[in-house]
Structure 1
Amino acid sequence: MTSLKQKNFTISLIISICLVGLSAAFAADFDRTVIPRVKYGGGGDWYTGPTSMPNLLKQASERLHLPTQAENIAVSVSDPELFRYPMLFLTGHGQVRFSDFEINTLLNYLDNGGFLWVNDSYGIDRFIRREVRRIYPDREFELLPSDHAIFKMVYDFPEGLPKIHEHDGKPPAAYALFDKGRMKILYTYESDIGDGLEDAGIHKVDTPEIREKAMRMALNILAYVMMQ
């Protein structure tokens, strides 16, 4: 059986190779990985959990040996800077709404190698599904099986997406939108990985074990995106 140390070494090598081979659309990228959060309209709190991405990027540097810039950065879809980032993070509670221009921009971004991770922090399900249908009206989310590669990139999750926050008590589910075999959007539903990545003490119910579970899953997601 492959040890965690061996798997970490392997994935670090894969990531290093893939960073060199990113799409030409992101040729002007930073030399350090940054994952900005997406600003959106509609009244939802796109800014929630400001420590989640910096914490993930710090751990990606320490555990995956990936050069990162561990900062909380936000970007609007209408901002040309969007195309500097190979991966985006969207989270919040409640309404999410994009303009027609932003929908077209997201389509262009995703079709040119970009990746969007949507984290259900609670209450965004119907809004996200509506907006994704506007981007890809002829495509549907696919439920990822527990044996999908994303659940065993660095850490093994034999049961699939872990449950971090209870919310409605529904089972967690990972949905993805694919095009020509490439995952373009990952939607983590009824799990709230993002909240589990925040600083200790922000969510009193998040034990160290729960926070570690969230971090491991997030590192799997990042490794999977970099491997594509």
Structure 2
Amino acid sequence: MRKVAGYLSVLLVAALAAADTDLPGDGGRSGETPDLSKLNFVRAIYNSEGGMGEAYYVYDGRFWARWETDFPEGDDNFSRRLSTLTRIDVNPKAASRLLTAPDLGDFPMLYMSDPGYMILSRQEIEAFARYLANGGFVWVDDFWGDAEWQQFATVMREVLPGREWRVLTPEHPIFHTVFDLKEMPQIPALPFASPGGDTAEPAGAHKYPAGSLRDPQMRAWVDDDGRLMVVATHNTDIGDGWEREAYGEWYFETFSTRSYMMGVNVVTYAMTH
């Protein structure tokens, strides 16, 4: 009993520490200096509102801040696959950066995950807007339902005032840049995936009111010249397809393959436009 009580105390202390930290975690890589002669797949670090189950959660025996969902394993796996499937020279070890990092402009694209509770400071909003205005590209993934979308869309109205998102249908070239995809793939996180089961994640796993989680879409914010600045893959978890590629042949063949196809298309399109 003492061991159990001690373990629970450790968890409680960790939870309180995370709750009191403005930006819990840096992924262990925000201070590293990657090789800038290669493409670096960079995870954006952001803060989230709320407490346990909102700003952070426990899974696989550890605490996760929302921004680091699937990091670093998923990002590293994708970096290696991207290097194998294309001619892009990619750093096999993904990086992470604050939106206010002084070297953010060294990286042409950022990847952001699980932003359904995301909040940004005024300084972060200005840095985010500056990054996009200077030609940066951001891909946002793994958020489901109406409430999580509205949270992110509200932030984006501050980052890009006067601009609204649009749906990119499968006719858009981004779906056909390398692999010919006929639809936006819906990738459920591994715990919600089963042979013959529903690919939509359950409403109870997401922010209330969830609304519809059944229709995956790619949505985007575009600049005056038609350049995609921000692409959001909504009602799907592309990143889990990368992270969980080794969790059995069925999951890999059913979901990871399509996750990699979508990822290769998005990055290749962004790097060539």
* TM-score of the pair, normalised by structure 1: 0.81
Letter in 1 for 2:156: V
Q: Which moved more, 1:120-129 or 1:86-95?
A: 120-129
Q: Secondary structure at the match of 2:103?
A: helix
Q: Deviations over 1:54-80 (max 9, x none)?
A: 111111211112111121321001111
Unaligned runs of at least 5 residues, structure 1: 1-28
Q: Is this contact kept in 2: 1:55–1:199, CA < 8 A?
A: no
- For 1:156, the aligned partner's letter is D
Tell me whether 1:152 sits opposite 2:176 in the alignment. yes
Residue in structure 2 matched with residue 85 of structure 1 by the alignment: 107
* Equivalence for 2:227: 182
Alignment match of 1:35 (pick from 38, 41, 47): 41
Deviation at 1:83, TM superposition (A): 1.1
- SS state of the match for residue 116, structure 1? strand
Give the letter aligned to residue 154 of structure 2: R
1:121, 1:194 within 8 Å by CA — same for their partners in 2?
no
Taking the aligned partners of 1:30 and 1:225, their CA distance within structure 2 comes to: 17
Contact 2:77–2:242 (8 Å) recurs in 1: yes
Percent of aligned pairs with the same amino acid: 28
Which residue does the alignment assign to 2:215? 171
The residue number in structure 2 matching 1:76 is 98
Question: Is the 1:98–1:131 contact (alpha carbons within 8 Å) kept by the matching residues of 2?
Answer: yes
SS of equivalent to 1:196: helix
Kindly report the root-mean-square deviation, in angstroms, between the aligned alpha carbons of the 2 structures: 1.9
User: 1:46 is aligned with what amino acid?
Assistant: W
Once the two structures are TM-superposed, the CA of residue 210 in structure 1 deviates from its matched residue by 1.2
Moved more, 196-205 or 87-96: 196-205
Which whole-Å CA distance do the structure 1 matches of 2:94 and 2:41 have between them?
A: 8
1:225 is aligned to 2:248: no
- Using the alignment, how far apart are the partners of 1:151 and 1:157 within structure 2? 5
Which amino acid is 2:108 matched to?
P
- 1:137 and 1:120 mapped to 2: Cα distance? 24
Q: Following the alignment from structure 1 to structure 2, what is the Cα–Cα distance between the partners of residues 88 and 202?
A: 26
- Counterpart secondary structure, 2:138: strand
**Bigger radius of gyration, 1 or 2?**
2
| 1:127 matched residue in structure 2 | 151
Matched to 1:155, the amino acid is F
For 1:13-32, list aligned pairs within 5 A.
Answer: 30-32=36-38
Give distance in 2, aligned partners of 1:177 and 1:203.
36
1-side partners of 2:214 and 2:266: how far apart? Answer: 22
Secondary structure of the residue aligned to 1:155 is coil
Residue equivalent to 1:55: 77
Measure, in 1, the Cα distance between the counterparts of 2:144 and 2:248.
Answer: 14
Residue deviations 1:3-38 (CA, integer Å, cap 9, x gap): xxxxxxxxxxxxxxxxxxxxxxxxxx8111111111
Which amino acid in the other structure matches residue 111 of structure 2?
Answer: F
Contact 1:91/1:121 (<8 A) preserved: yes
3-state SS of the aligned residue for 2:231? strand
**SS of equivalent to 1:46:** helix
Letter in 2 for 1:177: W
The size of the alignment, in residue pairs, is 199
Q: Give the 5 Å matches for 1:80-119.
A: 80-92=102-114, 94-119=116-141
